[in-house]
Chain A
Amino acid sequence: MSENIRTVKNATCTFCGCLCDDMELTVDLDEHRITKAKNACVLGRAWYAEHVIEDRPAAMIDGKEVDFDEAVEEAAQVLVNAKFPIIYGLSDTTSEAQREAVAIADYIHGTIDTTTSVCHGPTGMAFQGVGESTMSLGEVKNRADMVIFWGGNPAVSHPRLFTRYAVTTKGMFIPNGKKDRTIVLVDVRKTASDPVANIQIKVKPGKDFELLWALRALVKGKSIDPSIEKITGVSLATLEDLVDRMKKCNYGVIFFGMGLTMTRGRHFNSGALMALGTDLNEFTHFVVKPARGHGNVTGADNVVSWQTGYPFGVNFNLGYPRFNPGEFTTVDTLSNRDADAAMFIASDPASNFPKPAIEHMKRIPVISLDPKQTITSSLAHVAFTTATYGINTTGTVYRMDDVPITLRKAYDSPFPSDEEILTAIKKRVRELMLSKYGTSGVRGEAKVASLTPL
């Protein structure tokens, strides 16, 4: 360790959607690394410890080092010359960078989608049908005396959700912390989160919707046949006890995860859970909240929504935004071989997308922006190495409860930020589109673009 040490207080860990903003970072400015992250969880410690300045070029084309401007030019040419270009990722970058990505999609008449589509995308669809009864995590901390986790495992995905907000923490109306709360865990298997729960409910795989609908019926005072146990794996007595506790609590909250959105039923599962929350508001205060994964995936939903009117899966082919999950979402545009060019920002779809989608990535020119070498950056035609948000850059991120937080950076990176790269690509894309279609524009919008300052 060198003697050139800096301490950054109240930094924000951007690994998961909790966005814990009480980090105290010890930074070795000579070594360009964070040597200690006080208050960080196991995921946060790994996030800080493993982020060093990578020994790789800032920009590459087909694996060969090029200068920044050449890579920007090539990326812009690829996007402008494609017939169905897609932009995807965005959950691990700042909202300032997300805004630039939406602008590029607009200029190139492309499609923009975020990792939400393979995360809580179905929940986003359910919001539109059912509505959302929401809250801030501060309310959960200070008021919630009943906390239900459904289809998620926060102990490994959001470790500090328990200690900062939802289980052990003491609040204004919850003076004794966990003793004042009833914690319920609903899952298909025993997970690392089980020990915190007072009640563990094991549902049969793929039977969440049936269980939720039975709970809705019981909340409304309808009778349910005991055969529900055979269908869902959960006894009627357990369900009746749960409903009784839910109705009698002062402030109930349900956090839910991919166990509902990634299984059969998808948005119907999320919708059923949110409808249950609505039903319970006839008796007490109840809120339902998706536990969002990546650091700024909530910001991606916010930015894409306020700029296009829709949260993800947005297409600009006709010059105005259209939303259609299943058509404009990235798994579909790749698996159906619609996309003929792709830009992936702060995301590694080649490591976790379905096999047919990954196969199509290898057929088309890919532009990648990532702090590290990934499977996606390895197959990219144009690859940018980026500064890491929250460690090397400041900017705005949104916590899972839609609360915006300003990042504090720990040390400088020699690599540009996502925002800087995307701003440069946007500028060049705009020039190319104007020269291609003229200032009047084929559809008129280029005329507007020519009048709008960057």
Chain B
Amino acid sequence: MTETMILIPGRTSEQGTALNKGKLKAEYQHETSMLDINTEDMERLGLQEGDRARLSNETGEIIVTCRGRKPEDLPHGVLFIPYGPPSSQLMAGETAGSGMPLSKHMEVKIEKVDV
């Protein structure tokens, strides 16, 4: 099952502290590959806590690990990822004459990855 959702990359405390240790270190790479997703959306997509999911759009695709968030904390159809190299793979270079790529509010397809 595939659905289109809105992906919002942003800062987390873990991402902020891990980048001081080094962006090539496992801790940073782990944190920037975690995806926050509404638990009701997870259930509909057949995803469980810790499951792997594929996010894709016209620019690229990445594999992330799901961590559930209560529906009152994260709206339906909205995904959050600590920003870093994985989220960059989904970001297009178009800036609409502003210099700023659409770094939040990216439309992505999400589907479960069967291991």
Binding site for B on A (CB under 8 A): 15, 42-43, 45-47, 49-51, 113, 117-118, 121-122, 125, 153, 156-157, 188-190, 192, 202, 204-206, 258-259, 261-264, 266-267, 312-313, 325-327, 329-332, 334-336, 348, 351-358, 372-375, 378
Contact A332 to B99, CB < 8 A, known contacts A189-B8, A263-B104: yes
Task: Count chain B residues whose beta carbon lies closer than 8 angstroms to a beta carbon of A.
Answer: 44
Tell yes or no: B4 within 8 A of A by CB.
no
Residues 89-103 of chain B: 1 if any A CB is under 8 Å from the residue's CB, otherwise 0? 111111111111111
Q: How far in angstroms is the closest Cβ of chain A from B68?
A: 13
Q: How far in angstroms is the closest Cβ of chain B from A329?
A: 3
Q: Which of A188, A261, A334 contacts B93 (CB 8 A)?
A: A334
Tell yes or no: B46 within 8 A of A by CB.
no
Residues 16-57 of chain B: 1 if any A CB is under 8 Å from the residue's CB, otherwise 0? 111011111000000000000000000000000000000000
A76 to B14, CA, bound (A): 38
Tell yes or no: B72 within 8 A of A by CB.
yes
Q: Which 7 A-B pairs give the minimum distances between C-beta atoms?
A: A335-B93, A329-B99, A326-B97, A356-B93, A46-B17, A325-B99, A190-B73
Question: Do residues A121 and B99 form an inter-chain contact, with CB atoms below 8 A?
Answer: yes
Q: Which of A153, A156, A189 contacts B74 (CB 8 A)?
A: A189
Question: Do residues A118 and B100 form an inter-chain contact, with CB atoms below 8 A?
Answer: yes
Instruction: Show 15 A/B contacts (Cβ-Cβ < 8 Å), sorted by A.
Output: A15-B20, A46-B17, A122-B98, A156-B16, A189-B75, A190-B72, A205-B6, A264-B102, A326-B97, A332-B95, A335-B93, A354-B92, A355-B59, A355-B92, A373-B24
Question: Do residues B11 and A156 form an inter-chain contact, with CB atoms below 8 A?
Answer: yes
Q: How far in angstroms is the closest Cβ of chain B from A351?
A: 5
A329 to B23, CA, bound (A): 24
Residues of B within 8 A of A356 (CB): 59, 92-93
Residues of A within 8 A of B75 (CB): 188-189, 202, 204-205
A361 to B101, CA, bound (A): 17
A3 to B46, CA, bound (A): 58
Within 8 A of A (CB), among B62-82: 72-75, 78, 80
Question: Do residues B104 and A117 form an inter-chain contact, with CB atoms below 8 A?
Answer: no
Residue among B18, B75, B100 facing the most chain A CB atoms (10 A cut-off): B100
Q: Which residue of B lies closest to A204 (CB)?
A: B75
Residues of A within 8 A of B100 (CB): 117-118, 121-122, 261-262, 266, 325, 329, 331
Q: How far in angstroms is the closest Cβ of chain B from A302?
A: 18
Residues of B within 8 A of A259 (CB): 104
Q: How far in angstroms is the closest Cβ of chain B from A51?
A: 7
